[in-house]
Amino acid sequence: MILLALGLGTRVVAFMMAIELGVIVVAIQMPNGYFWTSRGTEFALVLFLVCLAFVFGGGGRYSLDRKLGREF
């Protein structure tokens, strides 16, 4: 999370977190339903989509990846 917040290795870290959250959503929280009040997939699914947005969009203008010139 620290690397993602700083913008170092943004796409790689976001991809690894998206895989982890995908497993959490499908294997752990799916049997509980959708809503977070019943320990469902709602919150983890939103985090999964945010991670996918970082994978496709990158860290942005102010990330350290762009400052170093090593954005994937």
Q: Mind listing the pLDDT tens digit for each residue in 32-63?
A: 888 988 888 999 999 999 999 999 988 888 88
What are the b/e assignments for 13-41, b being 16+ CB within 10 Å? bbbebbeebeebbeeebeeeeeeeeeebb
Give me the pLDDT at residue 63, please: 81
The CA distances from residue 49 to 64, 67, 70, in Å, are 22, 26, 24
Task: Please answer whether residues 59 and 10 qualify as being in contact, where contact means their C-beta atoms are separated by less than 8 angstroms.
Answer: yes
CA distance 28 to 23: 8
pLDDT band at 71 (very low <50, low <70, confident <90, very high): low
Average per-residue pLDDT in the chain? 87
- What is the arithmetic mean of pLDDT over 18-22? 95
Give the pLDDT band (50/70/90) at residue 65: confident
